[in-house]
Amino acid sequence: MKLQEMTWEDFQSAETLVGLIPTGSTEQHGPHGPFATDLIIAEEMAANAAEETGALVLPSISVGISREHQDFEGSLYISPDTFRQQLREMILSASSSGIERFVVVNGHGGNISAIYEVCKSLYIEYTTIALEWTWFNAISARNMGHAGELETSLLMFLRPDLVKEPREPGAGTWGHKFHGTRVDYLTSSFTKNGIVGDPTKATKEKGEELFNRSTKKLKQLIRDLYSPDQDFLSEKTR
């Protein structure tokens, strides 16, 4: 179910406990990938999981913390403070309508720390249960990159109409290390085409496998949130 497609009477009569908030970005993904890559992946995973678990998909946050891509025209970004405030107020307003638990279904690495901070502060202040879930961390994805093999494979499975040709490799790693610290703040300083990794290795079959592995994890998390036997973050579990 999607909140935006319901009436308020539909919502009132629904037994909705868990709300999913897809978050992504509107940022360059190389010459072959659309700006909405991260968002498309998050929204598709949320929709798939909601269909099987009865969770409610709330409106997405489509512009994320992405200023590192500012040199690639068309990339949009908001500040971490703005992102945190938007997510916080969305959860609080949904909570006031009766949704009890939340999963932020995230597709963009730059959002992770901000999401976690919001979820932690809401629990400390209101005992609201909200959890950060990022697909590539959930499955311990290797060689994640940016617009590389994994993201491109997912797009080829989910939205092949949006993947352009030819595809070309990008930088081998995300930025450079200097005496143990990362020194690159702008993507343009280490990749000319905006890519990290090798999208030429991407396939629809790999994308399907990644999608199924990720959504399996998400569905299990949602089911556990519904379960009365799971007393998340309570005094009893400390």
C-alpha distances (whole Å) from 124 to each of 8, 37, 73, 100 are 30, 33, 40, 15
What percentage of the chain carries pLDDT values higher than 70? 95
Range scoring the smallest mean pLDDT among 7-21, 37-51, 59-73, 201-215: 7-21
**Residue 64 in contact with residue 111, Cβ under 8 Å?**
yes
- Tokens 């905006």 map to which residue? 194
Mean pLDDT for 131-150 is 97
Using alpha carbons only, how large is the chain's radius of gyration in Å? 18
Cβ neighbourhood burial of 46 (10 Å; 0-12, 13-18, 19+): buried
Residues near 227 by beta carbon (within 8 Å), at least 6 away in sequence: none
Q: Tell me, what DSSP letter sits at residue 57?
A: E
Mean pLDDT for 114-140 is 97
Which domains are present in the chain?
Answer: 16-227 (3.40.50.10310)
Per-residue model confidence as pLDDT tens digits over 63-99: 999 999 999 999 999 999 999 999 999 999 999 999 9
- The predicted pLDDT at position 237 comes to 45
Q: Give the bridge partners for 19, in sequence order.
A: 56, 102
How far is residue 114 CA from its own chain's centroid?
12
pTM (two decimals): 0.94
